[in-house]
Structure 1
Amino acid sequence: MFTVTKPYPQEFRDDVVRVARNREPGVGLDQIAKDFGIHFTTLYSWMKKAEEEDGERPGGAAVASAELREAKRRIRLLEQENEVLRRAAAYLSQANLPKMMYPLVRELAGDGIPVTVTCRVLNLARQPYYRWLTNPVTDTELAAAYRANALFDAHVDDPEFGYRYLADEARDAGQGMCARTAWRLCSANGWWSAFGKKRGKNGKKPGPPVHEDLVQRDFTAEAPNQLWLADITEHRTGEGKLYLCAIKDAYSNRIVGYSIDSRMKSRIAVAALNSAVARRGEVVGCVVHTDRGSQFRSRKFVRALNGHGMVGSMGKVGAAGDNAAMESFFALLQKNVLDRRTWTTRQELRIAIVTWLERTYHRRRRQDALGRLTPIEYETIMTTPATLAA
């Protein structure tokens, strides 16, 4: 049994506003509110707040004082300085590349960070830099630095990835290279997979999984918030891949939490879990069953589970049947949304996913396993109104 104790997750609010702003002609806000299971006044207030934040409606954001504008300017300056330090640390860690900082200054300038800010943070004189621009390093050296930067960023985000996966991530970031080039750069800098073969060690194998398999392919629950299933899927768009992490309650097959991102890092799994907890309320003791993906093995995700008083569970390596209930949901999503057409932008696909999920899957698609009821109808009928979640 569970009660409503927390507000709607911010990602859910943003998605509802996106759908409302991109609705088809003739579709009113009242219909959008009904499709997503919220009150009309709630949606109206979200729309109003979004317009104020975007400066489209007179409000607190539109008539910000000079002090607020100055604070924003200083925050932007601090963010630029932090980005300079982060990129400089990555650049200096590349042992096989020359340690001239001017290429980094030019790269940051291309990303919108003023040369004055970069030179001040790195304690460089501007005049020598401008003289260097007339006779820079070779294009080959600069290309190698760009590629190494992209590989380093991917390795920091996902230390479990080997050089082939790092090359894929670098390619998505705009730095394409062959597998041999990626191996050479990773080998020179010691960027090996955390779960790969140990170099120069005693060849120990990776340790046991983070959690034991507590489900054993029995994807049933007698009450809400007893067993949740989680997994991640991906789909290509004209702008690159879009990743969806979804969490399903085995009791009603309802997607209780999700997160959508352009990168498949541990944060997407943590965000989906926090979203589900925010919408469902009391979840202490709930079993969260996943595969052995690195996102679910990460310390951030395990820490989030422990913080909410939840219990982790994992299937075997390469055994798709150990999480078959989530695989079937993603197959349904693939058939009804992802493969229906070609998607130009990530936002276009994101709106389509959340619209199908909230409007069709939750409220219109009847399921045999639920007695020909929808997930929302099943929870409404089988759970007393006083204990229903949002």
Structure 2
Amino acid sequence: MYSYEDRIKAVKLYIKYDLSVADTIRELGYPTRNALIKWYKEYKEKGDLHTDYEREPKFSREQKQKAVDYYLEHGRCIRRTVRVLGYPSRTALMQWIDKLAPGQRKVRITHGDMIQFSEEKKKDAVISLCTRDTSAAVIAEEYGVSRACLYNWKKQLLDKKDENSMVHSKKPNLPDDKDELQAELESLRKQVHKLQLEIDILTKAAEIIKKDLGIDRQNLTNKEKTMVIDALRTRYQLDELLEATGMAKSSYFYQRKAQTQPDKYFMLRSKVRDIFNENRCCYGYRRVHAVLKNEGITCSEKVIRMIMSAEQLIIHGKKKRRYNSYFGEISPAVPNLLARDFHADKPNEKWVTDLTEFQIPAGKVYLSPILDCFDGLVVSWSIGTSPDAELVNSMLDEGVACLSDDEHPILHSDRGGHYRWPGWILRMDTYGLIRSMSKKGCTPDNAACEGFFGTLKTEMFYGRSWEGVSLEQFIKELDCYIRWYNEKRIKMRLGGMSPLVYRRSLGLVA
């Protein structure tokens, strides 16, 4: 019999958290499966449960009266009545007789009509019971008594010492400290169960969320813990799973409900993927956030980082290696005028240049650019299959063509032979440019240009297969990237704008 509060609590828990019938019963400790289903159907049909609970009788009045009449008409034997009719129990039949036919029930008394057994007869029966090679029911029938009566005689006549001496037990006697041994055995069973639970949690974590088996289960997120618990609910109780993972029950049900809710970042995920793919898969979360901000979409950088991590939007790079292109002195070197100060207050004040190589299956390609330290704009560039003087000369001629008459920038380079041969020096003097060189074998002195090469190769060259690509196709692809770098690729230090857009915002170019 359950109160109204107990029944309504069980139904609401079953509905609110969308649990199974078995899980609801396991959580509350009641009721039976059929009772919960019956309560749920009633609540679904009527919107509430009835408050007055009257249990329907198992037997009708006609059945009760029939049993009592049979008892009175056939010798007033309760055992025979129950055996012939198949119902009810002996106790219930005696209650029916006292209610429907008061004073008609046959009562056995200890003296008078009831058969009395002597002490010798009882001892013989007990000895037969203790030394039997058949069932106790056969012994009881032989002496004309019930099995319960036999065991009562045995209890009265024998103490534990006599009983142990008469009964041949197949089980060995337990030692005196059997209670301690049983307690220790139970403790070991609990420890084994706990260890098995921990192993199963780690195994499921490795299987479902791809975690390493050595991970601390306490360091899992609540979402990951919920996934592991749901996978083990059929084998363990919820309370012990929550205790083993260190998770509150309210947090578990919150995560289960949250997993059924639609993804609130669904549209943002699609937008982030599009931005990443449209920009050669080389934008990190800061640049993606800047693009979204420029488009008027407000969100947190942490959200963008979380989405890119979940969507596996990863920028592929390559391990750096030490590179040295120094082959000796050709002409006297000039001082390092920049001294690693690559900041410029206006365009065409400080330029940097260098030469880099791309090796693909079809051959080698070389790039020689000039970068403006003002905003990182690639002022001019030349691409070829040979690192000769013509490569750097054409780059310099094209870059100088963009200067006005009063502009004479510092052009900084390393100590490579291309920038120390007489032809290059003559061109620099003719155009009125100021030479500056890094120290011997010191790439950080030309970090601005080296940084551009690193960005270019990470975003465009590394992580891609160039098998089957001809030299002409690669040169075209490289040229397209540099144009995209100038016109569209945003820079965080420029306020999320590309170099050309930045210059237009300052009114420096049309």
Q: Which has the higher contact order (CA 8 A, sep 6+)?
A: 1
TM superposition score normalised by structure 1: 0.44
Per the normalisation by structure 2, the TM-score is 0.34
* Structure label with greater radius of gyration: 2
